[in-house]
Amino acid sequence: MRVEKTVRVKAPANKVWDAFYDWGGVWRFQPWVLRSPILGSTTQGVGASRRCEFVDKTSIVETITRIEEGRIIEMSLTETPKPMKGGKAVIILTPRDSSTDVTVSMDVALGLGPLNPIMGNLMMKPMMKTRISKMLESLEYHLQTGGKIDSKGVKQSKQKLKPAMAA
C-alpha cells in the first residue's frame, strides 16, 4: 500500500531539515511519538536507527537508508505494529520562498491477506494521510514555538515538552 501527502510548512527548508535530521528528536513534534531513542552507536546519517514509541504502547524501528543532504531522507520501517509488516518511508523537502513543501510517502506491506486492498484503501490510507497532515501541522507549530501538538490535538508549550520516561 502506498500513501503520499504533500503539505506546505511555513518554515524555511533548513529549519525543517534540522527537525527531521535530529534523528532521536522526532518525539519533539510527532504527535503520536512519546520517545524516540537512538538504537546503536550511529546517531546520524545512513545506518542510524531509532525506535519510535507511540502513545498506544506500540513502536516501530526506523533506519536511515539514504540521504540527500537538506532534501531527502529515506528510511526502512521494521518491527512494525500489526497490521503492518514493514515498509519504507521517504521525506522530500522542496523550498518555496520562506516555506517548504514537505512530501511524505510511505510504502507499507500489510498482513491482512485478501483483505489488504479493502482495509488498506478504505481505512489505512485515509488514516495515514490524516496522521501525516497532523504531524506536519505539529512540526510547523514546533518550529514556530518550540512546542508540540499532541495526539489529541492539544498544543503543548515548550516548557511542558519532554520525552516520556521509559516504563
At residue 167, the pLDDT reads 43
Q: 125-145 vs 13-21: helix axis angle to the nearest 10?
A: 110
Contacts of 118 (CB under 8 A, 6+ apart): none
At residue 51, the pLDDT reads 97
Side chain identity, residue 143: L
Side chain identity, residue 64: I
Span 2-160 CATH architecture: 2-Layer Sandwich (3.30)
Query: Whose CA is closest to 21, among 72, 95, 58?
Result: 72
Q: Where are the domains of the chain?
A: 2-160
At residue 164, the pLDDT reads 66
Any bridge partners for residue 90, and if so which?
A: 74, 105
Q: What is the pLDDT along the chain (167 residues), one digit of tens a residue?
A: 899 999 999 999 999 999 999 999 999 999 999 999 999 999 999 999 999 999 999 999 999 999 999 999 999 999 998 888 899 999 999 999 999 999 999 998 887 777 777 777 788 899 899 999 999 999 999 999 999 999 999 998 887 777 765 44
Q: How far apart are the first and last CA of the chain?
A: 33
At residue 61, the pLDDT reads 98
**Cell digits of residue 30:** 510527532
Q: Cell numbers 489505512 label which residue?
A: 124
Q: Compute the distance between CA of residue 65 and CA of residue 29 in angstroms, rounded to an integer.
A: 22
Q: How far is CA 10 from the centre of its chain?
A: 18
Any bridge partners for residue 55, and if so which?
A: none
DSSP letter (8 states) at residue 123: I
**Cell digits of residue 50:** 531509532
Global confidence as pTM: 0.90
